[in-house]
Structure 1
Amino acid sequence: MTVEKIRRGTVEIAYESVGSGEPLLLIMGAGGSMRSWHPDFVRALADRGFRVIRFDNRDAGRSTRFTDRGAPNQLKMWLRPTSEAAYTLEDMAADAFAVLDANDYLSAHVAGVSLGGMIAQTMAIEKPDRVRTLTSISSGPSGKVGKPTAATLMKIVKVAKKKITSVDDFVEFQLGLAAIVGSPAYPVDQAFVRQDSEEAYADGFDLAASQRQTAAAAASGDRRERLSHVRLPTLIIHGEADPMARLIAGVETAKAIPGARLVTYPGMGHDLPRELWPSMLDHLRELADSAVDA
């Protein structure tokens, strides 16, 4: 797969695609790049008849970074969300539409995980005519719904205490994080986490970037009322053991969107276990087929 870049204003967005067939845009969550989608998962989607397009959100991977904005103040981010945001989910959704434009697609199936799910929801709200189907995975209708418990946050803080001065430090941090937020019923794919971490570190280490992306979600508020007007084939996938976006986040998203289908998996956390891919792939294919049938 060849990485290409497009420019939208002052922001450059990196993307790549594989396969042929119906376009499916994949949107990764906070801190992740397009490579955080496992290549085997991407190829499996292509085998199901999709042209899979994945891209680096702004402030991730090889897309434009906003390092000059520094890290948002965490307290202000929740008290006065818009005051700390370098950009919004609407800006990130506009980036995603620009990727579709660059590929000459008037519309596409859209699937996002975590923060990517929020961006996908925003796309469906902003320009529903450009979204064939919506899939929101491990996500919620706002950053406050299903947020992590204090106990989970304390575990993350403990892992993040060590200063990161090398790629090995970063890999250790990411493996520690995966152990906290991953699926208790399924093993962490340590080899993939290590590879993804090494590539992310090479792209440019900046923990504040994921905080800026989270600030964008906070600034965009609660989408439930706006989601109630979405009339698209919609699939909500959520882990019943997700500690980062607890199950209520998926439930509330499904309740907000008329006709949305909610699929939950026992023992799944805030990741995509390989053991569940066949089921997820079936649901994504069925969703796309339902849009064609309609």
Structure 2
Amino acid sequence: MTRLKAASESASAATQYLELDDRKIAYRVVGVGKPLVLFNRFRGVLDTWDPQFIDSLAGHGFQVFTFDYSGLGLSSGDKSYNPPALVKDARQLILGLGLENVAIGGWSLGGIVAQIYLAMFGAEVSHVVLLGTTPPGTLVKPAEQLFYDTAAKPGVDLEQFTTIFFEPADEASRAASRRSLDRIGLRSEDRSPDVDAEWAISQIGHTPRNPAFPSDDVLQALKHTTVPILHLGGDHDIIFPVENWYALNGALPTLHVITYPRAGHGPHHQYPLAAAAQIAAFVQATPLI
């Protein structure tokens, strides 16, 4: 049974800091139970996760850790979107907090980081949860230019949020977008600053690439891992189409794929309760092979 609460723990969780020799990493913890460390998306910070999704995970018995990458949000140090640098942040946080038997999850860019982490440190990871991300290698369906044009705009407004993370053509999805953005705005103090849009888009370019994630080493790791992997995606993701995961059907021995209808790049924000419940069921039902 879940332990869902009327008030949002996530929206009021204290910001803590892991002090390292050259920088500090800002993080928050919600819940008790199995550790689940979530890696953030492009332009994501501590306060861009939907509190209802985080709280729901905690309600299913996870101790959920979110954090800001170095130099972004409330973390200090040099900022970078180079995936190995982001893996280093995640690795130092997990080791620094002494987490064991840990599940990791990553949204979008964070999903790429999670796959690299699995390839490098898979023996220390129990499960991998991927949210609206891309597999390595050549894609059967590349991104839409609409993502790059929209993601390059500074700030965050409802129309931009809906275009990127939801399905603008669907009335129910648009309504879910409004609710999610309202929940994200619940926290009034100690908010993590937004990532500069101009800097961020300069790191990934202004047009789609194929492959988006060129790493044969990681693809081979996914093909031979015994760690259970779950991908949650929307049926119309304008940056990382879910079709690219289905194209790998039969090639990845531990991959589970769930696709949400009339949804975009943030399916866990449109369906936060369902996503949390399905992640919990996946972790509970899939021990290491």
Q: Which amino acid aligns with 2:53?
A: F
Does residue 112 of the first structure (1) align with residue 91 of the second (2)? Answer: no
Give me the whole-angstrom Cα distance separating, in 2, the residues matched to 1:121 and 1:43: 24
Q: Which residue in the other structure is 1:17 paired with?
A: 29
Q: How does 1:53-72 map to 2 (within 5 A)?
A: 53-64=65-76, 66=78
Q: Which residue in the other structure is 1:167 paired with?
A: none
Q: 1:211 to 1:87 in 2, by over 3 A?
A: same
Q: 1:209 to 1:48 in 2, by over 3 A?
A: farther
Q: Which residue in the other structure is 2:46 paired with?
A: 34
Give per-residue Cα distances to partners, 1:145-172, cap 9 Å, x unaligned: 344223x257528x73xxx6xxxxx244
Q: TM-score, length-normalised on structure 1?
A: 0.76
Give me the whole-angstrom Cα distance separating, in 1, the residues matched to 2:35 and 2:219: 27
The count of corresponding residues between Structure 1 and Structure 2 is 263
**1:254, 1:262 within 8 Å by CA — same for their partners in 2?**
no
Q: Which residue in the other structure is 1:289 paired with?
A: 284
Q: Which residue in the other structure is 1:45 paired with?
A: 57
Give me the whole-angstrom Cα distance separating, in 1, the residues matched to 2:262 and 2:76: 36
Give me the whole-angstrom Cα distance separating, in 1, the residues matched to 2:193 and 2:20: 20
More helix by share: 1
Q: 1:252 to 1:138 in 2, by over 3 A?
A: farther
Give me the whole-angstrom Cα distance separating, in 1, the residues matched to 2:52 and 2:23: 29
RMSD value over aligned CA atoms? 3.3
Q: Which residue in the other structure is 2:134 paired with?
A: 140
Give me the whole-angstrom Cα distance separating, in 2, the residues matched to 1:196 and 1:120: 28
Give me the whole-angstrom Cα distance separating, in 1, the residues matched to 2:190 and 2:144: 27
Q: How does 1:87-106 map to 2 (within 5 A)?
A: 88-106=82-100
Does residue 234 of the first structure (1) align with residue 229 of the second (2)? Answer: yes
Of the three residues 256, 259, 268, the one matched with 2:263 is 268
**2:51, 2:183 within 8 Å by CA — same for their partners in 1?**
no
How far off is 1:286 after superposition?
1.6
Q: Which residue in the other structure is 2:5 paired with?
A: none
Q: Which residue in the other structure is 1:211 paired with?
A: 201
How far off is 1:59 after superposition?
3.9
Give per-residue Cα distances to partners, 1:46-92, cap 9 Å, x unaligned: 1101111111122421113546xxxxxxxxxxxxxxxxxx5631221
Moved more, 125-134 or 257-266: 257-266
Of the three residues 118, 130, 137, the one matched with 2:124 is 130
Q: TM-score, length-normalised on structure 2?
A: 0.77
Give me the whole-angstrom Cα distance separating, in 1, the residues matched to 2:84 and 2:247: 21
Q: Which residue in the other structure is 1:181 paired with?
A: 164
Q: Which amino acid aligns with 1:126?
A: M
Give me the whole-angstrom Cα distance separating, in 1, the residues matched to 2:87 and 2:230: 19
How far off is 1:106 after superposition?
2.7
**Moved runs in structure 1, 4+ residues, more than 4 A?**
196-202, 217-220, 252-256, 291-294
Structure 1: 5+ residue stretches without partners? 68-85, 165-169
Moved more, 250-259 or 191-200: 191-200
Q: Which residue in the other structure is 2:253 paired with?
A: 258
Give per-residue Cα distances to partners, 1:90-125, cap 9 Å, x unaligned: 221121121112221133111111011111111111
Q: 1:22 to 1:141 in 2, by over 3 A?
A: same
Q: How does 1:180-199 map to 2 (within 5 A)?
A: 180-184=163-167, 185=170, 186-187=173-174, 188-189=177-178, 191-192=181-182, 195=185
Structure 2: 5+ residue stretches without partners? 1-12, 206-210
